[in-house]
Amino acid sequence: MRDAGNHVQKASEVLLGALRTAEGTTVTIGQVTRSIGDRAFGLILLLFSLPNCVPAPPGLGSIMGLPLALFGIQLALGRRYPWLPGFLARRRFQRETLLRLVERGQPYISRIERICRPRMTYLTGSRGERVHGVIITVLAAAILIPLPLTNFIPAVGIGVLALGLLEEDGLTALLGITIGSVGLVIVGGVLVGTFDLLFG
């Protein structure tokens, strides 16, 4: 995405701009999605993964898991723009809360953005996006599990994968998948341990 000066805007810049220019003290998920524009899938995945990657108000992270799963399914089905059912699109959040989340995450996002560049683009094309959509859906399901240690690493994996899609960087996308896979192993261990504790 380019601004009037032909400057290629990074994902963090677009997210901050969308939230800073939003009207009112609260915003809906639908408003944020529409304001992001032509990179909506990658940016919205990045935004919704952030509450599980940086300190956020209690409960906000788990709320973001369901939209992430829905977006993953849509990406797997080949949709070009995200869609949400009305009850999720109308869900309101404090604009300042979301803005602070993006500001906290910006230093980390910027570090990854600096090393991103178009490469291995066959992994970020339409076919690659479908596969990534399946992976994102699985990682989002892990985020929805209400147990300790099940949110952070899968969310980081989704965020890095989203940056890879945004920058057409297949190597970064693979890094996100690797991080997410580690998270799934940890989630599996937590689930097995919890099952043994309760029923062993």
Give 101-150 pLDDT, tens digit per residue.
888 888 888 888 888 899 998 888 888 899 999 999 999 998 888 777 77
3-state secondary structure of 121: helix
Residue 3 lies in a domain: no
pTM of the model as a whole: 0.85
Q: Find the domain containing 176 and state its range.
A: 11-199
| Residue bearing the bigger pLDDT, 28 or 154 | 154
Residue 115 lies in a domain: yes
What is the predicted pLDDT for the residue at 47? 84
Residue 49 lies in a domain: yes
In angstroms, what CA-CA distances link 96 with 53, 88, 103, 140?
17, 19, 10, 25
59-79 pLDDT per residue, tens: 666 677 888 999 899 999 988
Count of domains forming the chain: 1
Residue 1 lies in a domain: no
The rounded distance, in Å, linking the Cα atoms of 67 and 46 is 12
Contact (Cβ atoms closer than 8 angstroms) between residue 101 and residue 155? no
Residue 22 lies in a domain: yes
Percent of the chain past pLDDT 90, that is, above it, reads: 26
Residue 143 lies in a domain: yes
Minimum mean pLDDT range among 2-6, 55-59, 181-185: 2-6
Residue 67 lies in a domain: yes
